[in-house]
Amino acid sequence: MRVEMLTITKRFGDLYANNDVSATFEPGQVHGLLGENGAGKSTLMKVLAGWYIPEAGAVRLDARDVVIRSPQDALALGIGYVPQDPQDFPDLTIIEHLVVGRSGWRVDRVDLVRRVEQVNQSLGFDLPPLGRVKELTVGQRLQLAMAQVVIQGAKVIILDEPPMGSGLRDSLKQLAGEGKTVVFITHNIADALEQCDQITVLRRGRRIGTVARPIVQADLMRMMFEEQLPPAGRPQQASERELIRLASVDCRTIDPPLAGINLAVRGGEVVGLAGIEGSGQASLLSLLAGRAKPTTGARACQAKRVHLVPAGRLGEGLVDGFTAEEMLSLAHPGAATDGGWRLSPQAMRTLTEKSIAQFHIKGQPASQGRSLSGGNQQRLMLAATPHDTDLLLLDNPTRGLDVPTAGFIWSWILDQCQRGAGVVVASNELEELWEHANRIVVMARGRLVGEVVPGVDSIDTLKQLMVGAT
């Protein structure tokens, strides 16, 4: 199906997320939509998918004008959208999830199981048809979202920043080979060069241009960014102050469970946390944060304030329905009051405007968290970190972010180390851990299986530990 989006304009208040954007997506191709966070990529595709109604512009499918006012309209026209953050029902089984929103009363369970197995085989997924959604990894939940639109017959499939290791990216060319129109939203130039037949670049809500193979990386860099941030580097040296120590800790009340954990974190250092997805990184961060308690062993914490920045931005990291002003006032109550116990509108506004400027958040004090791009949601979460935090825990803080935003976040992390905080960062991006961490501990099946020191050990050692090689 040939998709034409003509002079699309979408505005949130005074902010133009898309400003007179036109783009064409051809069947049988993987078309990359590239740009830094806040460039308008997801907004443009959410217009196509019926999540947003634009102020101006038109959509044509196979040269026919169509009106899309809801996700149901889009799916009826053959357009399926796979969001960056899965939106699912944890207590349902996979086959039950596939019939959510369908009309009719009869459900053929045998046929649904067969369809899931067909998708597993054709796209290389590993979805257990009768398994429950809450038992899936993040990657499998994204596979479920993809399977849902494929089984519902989508001819246009939009993927919004699918993470590495989810299994989705390997399926893009397979879907295009079947004649489907695939739109791949990404900030990652290397992924776009590897996957895409054509690439359209957006910057600040405007279309900069479209290029087709052969594509030169330097040209994409110039189209994407007006400026580059210098590399952040790594902390020079940790202090002698020990902030937290885990001694022979087992934790069986968390999923996945942890066993035999020995780890200490000192002030002024960045400890990287690596491992294949689902190896227990999030569980270990919860244990360090005190959200989970040891079943056996000891957790000794000397840090005065521990703060966890979770991987889930909406619902877990940000309060759903809160504006930036409300979120920051909740996080920094002392700066949002009149000097007593009452909130001061002027103090709240001053706090928010200062944070927006400091963290380069592309939004307004009245902007709701869900209306911000992924990168700006991440910046808002960092801005909500208490100023006296001395043990900072971050779960994939640069997931789905462009180069400048990731560079800003790492610079901010190193500023926290400079003032004496200890930082633990779980990340699926090995290169960023290698560049910024003082040391990297590796997890497998809920255990710490080794530690490497960048500059002393080799990155091949790190990769071997992750996959259990010798």
The tokens of 57 are what? 């512009």
- Write the CB contacts of 73 (distance below 8 Å, at least 6 apart in sequence): 50, 67
Which is the CATH superfamily of the domain at 3-224? P-loop containing nucleotide triphosphate hydrolases (3.40.50.300)
The CA distance from 405 to 426, in Å, is 17
pLDDT tens across 423-461, in order? Answer: 999 998 888 899 999 999 999 888 999 999 988 888 888
What is the residue extent of each domain of the chain?
3-224, 242-318+384-467
DSSP codes of every residue in 342-364: SB-HHHHHHHHHHHHHHTT-SS-
Q: Which amino acid is at 117?
A: E
Q: Is 407 helix (H, G, I), strand (E, B) or coil?
A: helix
Residue 11 β-bridge partners: 16
What does the pLDDT read at residue 437?
93
Name the residue with tokens 């209306």: 371
User: How many Å is the Cα radius of gyration of the chain?
Assistant: 23
- Residue by residue, DSSP assigns 313-335 as TBTTTB-TT-BHHHHHHHH-GGG
Query: Could you tell me the maximum CA-CA distance found in the chain, to the nearest angstrom?
Result: 68
Give backbone dihedrals phi and psi of 325, rounded to 5 degrees, phi first: -65, -45
DSSP state of 125: -
Retrieve residue 40's tokens: 């308008």
Smallest CA-to-CA distance from 89 within 99, 97, 81, 101 is with 97
Sign of CA dihedral 7, 10, 13, 17: negative
Give the C-alpha separation, 411 to 403, whole Å.
Answer: 12
β-strand 296-301 against 206-212: which pairing, if any? unpaired
Q: Is the distance from CB of 132 to CB of 91 less than 8 angstroms?
A: yes
- Cα distances (angstroms) measured from residue 26 to each of 46, 164, 179, 375: 18, 25, 9, 28
- With 0-12 CB in 10 A as exposed, 13-18 as middle and 19+ as buried, what is 284? buried
Q: How long, in residues, is the chain?
A: 470
Question: For residues 325 and 349, is the Cβ–Cβ distance under 8 A?
Answer: yes
Instruction: Fill in the DSSP letter of residue 371.
Output: G
- For residue 470, the model assigns a pLDDT of 44
Q: What is the dihedral of CA 361, 363, 366, 368, to 10 degrees?
A: -90
User: Nearest-5° angle of CA 27, CA 31, CA 32?
Assistant: 165
Task: State the architecture of 242-318+384-467 in CATH terms.
Answer: 3-Layer(aba) Sandwich (3.40)
- Residue 176 identity: A
pLDDT at 468: 63
What 3-state class would DSSP assign to 204? coil
Gap between the terminal Cα atoms of the chain:
48
Q: What is the pLDDT of residue 469?
A: 47
Are 153 and 178 within 8 A, CB to CB?
A: no
Q: What is the pLDDT of residue 256?
A: 85
User: What is the distance between the alpha carbons of residues 358 and 352, in angstroms, rounded to a whole number?
Assistant: 10
Would you say the CATH fold of 242-318+384-467 matches that of 3-224?
yes
| Amino acid at residue number 332 | H
Cα gap 435→438, rounded to integer Å: 9
* Whole-model pTM over 0.95: no
Mean pLDDT, 10 residues at a time, the chain of 470 residues: 96 87 96 84 95 96 95 94 83 88 74 92 90 86 89 93 66 91 86 90 92 86 64 69 94 90 94 86 93 93 93 82 91 84 88 90 87 86 91 89 81 91 90 90 90 87 69
Of 414, 432, 434, nearest in space to 423 by CA:
414
Residue 162: predicted pLDDT: 78
- Tokens 């380069």 appear where? 360
Order the strands of the 156-160 sheet from edge to edge.
Answer: 79-82, 156-160, 181-186, 30-34, 198-203, 206-212
Residue 422 has what pLDDT?
A: 95
